């Protein structure tokens, strides 16, 4: 293939350790081990996509088999061995894709092939890409050979999923974690390639490419390739054009939108969002960028412009810093929670565009409620925040997140001071069930016993999980009753943990144990002999003796 017809990711693929960027420590360690003749049986390279795992594996293979040796390793004019490895045609260097050859038979063939020494090089080398795709049986077949291979045999593994590789395999390898490429290094790298290709791309457009690639060299080169092909030779690719090509939008629009949300300018907010949407930005991309912006607003005082990884320019950084000083941290945290819940909501709605508009409207209502609460007592302020946090903790109760200000208006005024002698102390879940019985709250007790799994019970805080049958007004009803009974605010939170079995499940389990125990008794055996069709459906304990009937 003509070198000029190759994609940039292949055309500028590193061929020596000197060409690698961002992996200097790995390169130096491997080079020193080869020079000291302390070469491991197997190398294991792990990291995200496109940072050079397979490329490093080939460079290691060349370093081990170079005709000139490690001290005079080929750098420009490659020897026969190095040239063959570059072209994937070396008879002693076998590359295997574990994604397509996952079975134990494939590994057995490889082991059988390893019995024969190298033909023209010093080492026979097996490079296995995406090694985590091998089956459990294939890994087991490889273990013995991996631990005690012949002196001429070396393994090089590459994977993006290190946790899927058995620990018995990892322990037999020398592991190297390849890190993401720093934004500044990646920027300089693609800028040099842009110059070699005589491309006309502004630095701001290159910075956008670096941001989108998230530290992956291959992704950055693929995006640059796409950018260079998108415009005429005489046209320079600027930031605006790059945003349209890659489906990204100007962050300043999002900052303006955020500022208008804080002011409650509903019409202007919706108009700005629709302009962003018309640019081809997907709703999920919009939410993720909004979350990123919230992070910057919350932590801008502890960040530098460089630490934002080219996400912001000087003007945007300064504007965020100015606005953030006027925004309460509570508001930003609540916005974050609402954005996360809306991101999950996008998977279940048919028109994601409308869902985003409603999300922005809810943020404006939340901001207005937050502003009103500033003039109320601190306890009321905390109450509002806690209730919102409770509601957004689970998708099952998203429909409970309504106009909070309207709910507050319609809520009857409760007596905030209750005489000490009327207060009820509730120290456990069982005590809560007992109080429900005493207060004739049958529906609430039914929900607690049948549809709730207790995770944790603490003072003024209950953490639960629940099933699909839980009533949508359960949290509101329980919080209201607990406040009436104890004269204190309680926080009800939802957990992803399963928690304990429900009360009904425990009762059914106890009943089953009693029945199983009763079936071992002589009385039951005698009964079955006389009445084979009889079935034991319940067991009751004697009050006096505590024995089975």
Indicate the average pLDDT of the chain: 81
Contacts for 34-38: CB closer than 8 Å, 24+ residues apart: 34/63, 34/64, 34/70, 35/70, 35/71
Extract the tokens encoding 271: 């108009």
Longest CA pairwise span in the chain (Å): 100
Quote the pLDDT of residue 170. 94
In CATH terms, the fold of domain 3-177 is: Rossmann fold (3.40.50)
Quote the pLDDT of residue 25. 92
Quote the pLDDT of residue 133. 92
Closest by alpha carbon to 493, among 455, 447, 449, 448? 455
- Is the confidence at residue 350, as pLDDT, over 70? yes
This prediction's pTM: 0.57
In CATH terms, the fold of domain 183-246 is: Helicase, Ruva Protein; domain 3 (1.10.8)
pLDDT in tens, 461-506: 888 888 878 887 888 888 888 888 888 888 888 887 777 888 888 8
Residues of the chain with CATH 1.10.8.60: 183-246
d(CA 341, CA 222): 33
pLDDT in tens, 504-531: 888 888 888 888 887 788 777 777 777 7
Taking residues 389-403, report their average pLDDT: 44
Taking residues 237-242, report their average pLDDT: 84
| Residue 532: Cβ-neighbour burial (10 angstroms; 0-12, 13-18, 19+) | exposed
3-state percent helix, strand, coil for the chain, nearest multiple of 5: 55, 10, 35
Taking residues 275-285, report their average pLDDT: 82
Quote the pLDDT of residue 222. 92
d(CA 58, CA 43): 12
d(CA 459, CA 491): 9
pLDDT in tens, 292-304: 888 888 888 887 7
d(CA 479, CA 477): 6
Q: In what order do the strands lie in the sheet with 452-458?
A: 452-458, 461-466, 491-494
CA torsion, points 209, 211, 216, 222, in degrees to nearest 10?
-20
pLDDT more than 90, % of the chain: 19
Which of residues 9 and 496 earns the better pLDDT score? 9
Q: Using DSSP bridges, classify how beta strands 461-466 and 153-159 pair: parallel, antiparallel or unpaired.
A: unpaired
Terminal-to-terminal C-alpha distance of the chain: 88
The alpha carbon dihedral of 12, 14, 18, 24 has a sign of positive
Quote the pLDDT of residue 392. 46
With beta carbons less than 8 A apart as the criterion, state whether 521 and 548 touch: yes
- Is the confidence at residue 405, as pLDDT, over 50? no
pLDDT in tens, 84-120: 998 888 999 999 888 888 888 888 888 888 888 888 8
Residues of the chain with CATH 3.40.50.300: 3-177
- Is the confidence at residue 324, as pLDDT, over 90? no
Q: Which residues on neighbouring strands pair with residue 128, listed in sequence order?
A: 96, 157
Closest by alpha carbon to 372, among 387, 384, 363? 384
Taking residues 236-261, report their average pLDDT: 81
Quote the pLDDT of residue 549. 45
**pLDDT band (50, 70, 90) for residue 370:** low
pLDDT more than 70, % of the chain: 85
- Is the confidence at residue 409, as pLDDT, over 70? no
With beta carbons less than 8 A apart as the criterion, state whether 54 and 158 touch: yes
pLDDT in tens, 41-92: 999 999 988 999 999 999 999 999 998 888 888 888 889 999 999 888 899 9
């Amino acid at each position: 293939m003509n070198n000029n017809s190759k994609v940039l990711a292949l055309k500028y693929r590193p061929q020596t350790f000197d060409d690698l960027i961002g992996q200097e420590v790995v390169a130096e360690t491997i080079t020193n081990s080869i020079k000291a003749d302390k070469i491991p049986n197997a190398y294991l390279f792990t990291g995200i996509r496109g940072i050079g795992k397979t490329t490093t594996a080939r460079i290691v293979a060349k370093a081990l088999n170079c005709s000139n040796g490690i001290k005079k390793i080929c750098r420009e004019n490659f020897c026969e061995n190095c040239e063959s490895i570059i072209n994937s045609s070396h008879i002693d260097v076998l590359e295997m894709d574990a994604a397509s050859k996952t079975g134990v038979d494939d590994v057995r063939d490889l082991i059988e092939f390893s019995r024969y020494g190298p033909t023209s090089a010093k080492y026979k080398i097996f490079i296995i890409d995406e090694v985590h795709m091998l089956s459990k049986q294939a890994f087991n077949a490889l273990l013995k050979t991996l631990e005690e291979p012949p002196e001429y045999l070396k393994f090089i593994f590459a994977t993006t999923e290190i946790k899927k590789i058995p620990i018995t395999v990892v322990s037999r390898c020398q592991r190297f974690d390849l890190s993401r490429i720093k934004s500044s290094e990646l920027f300089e790298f693609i800028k040099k390639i842009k110059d070699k290709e005589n491309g006309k791309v502004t630095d701001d457009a290159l910075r956008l490419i670096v941001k989108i690639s998230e530290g992956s060299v291959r992704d950055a080169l693929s995006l640059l390739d796409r950018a260079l092909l998108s415009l005429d030779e005489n046209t320079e690719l600027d930031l605006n054009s790059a945003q349209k090509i890659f489906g990204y939008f100007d962050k300043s629009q999002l900052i303006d939108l955020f500022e208008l949300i804080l002011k409650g300018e509903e019409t202007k907010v919706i108009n700005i969002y629709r302009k962003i949407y018309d640019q081809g930005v997907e709703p999920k991309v919009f939410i993720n960028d909004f979350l990123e912006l919230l992070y910057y607003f919350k932590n801008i005082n502890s960040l530098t412009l460089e630490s934002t990884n080219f996400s912001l320019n000087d003007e945007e950084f300064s504007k965020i810093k100015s606005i953030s000083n006027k925004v309460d941290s509570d508001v930003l945290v609540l916005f974050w929670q609402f954005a996360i819940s809306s991101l999950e909501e996008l998977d279940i709605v048919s028109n994601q565009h409308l869902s985003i508009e409603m999300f922005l409207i809810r943020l404006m209502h939340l901001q207005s409620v937050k502003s009103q609460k500033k003039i109320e007592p601190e306890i009321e302020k905390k109450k509002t925040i806690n209730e919102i946090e409770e509601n957004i903790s689970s998708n099952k109760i998203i429909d409970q997140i309504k106009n909070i200000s309207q709910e507050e208006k319609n809520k009857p005024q409760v007596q905030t001071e209750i005489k000490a002698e009327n207060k009820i102390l509730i120290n456990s879940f069982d005590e809560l069930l007992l109080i429900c019985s005493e207060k004739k709250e049958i529906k609430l007790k039914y929900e607690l016993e049948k549809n709730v799994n207790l995770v944790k019970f603490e003072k003024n805080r209950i953490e639960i999980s629940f099933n699909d049958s839980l009533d949508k007004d359960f949290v509101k009803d329980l919080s209201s009753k607990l406040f009436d009974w104890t004269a204190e605010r309680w926080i009800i939170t939802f957990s992803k943990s399963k928690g304990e079995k429900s009360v009904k499940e425990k009762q059914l389990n106890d009943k089953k144990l009693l029945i199983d125990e009763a079936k071992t008794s002589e009385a039951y055996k005698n009964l079955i002999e006389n009445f084979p069709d009889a079935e034991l459906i319940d067991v009751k304990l004697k009050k006096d003796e505590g024995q089975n009937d």
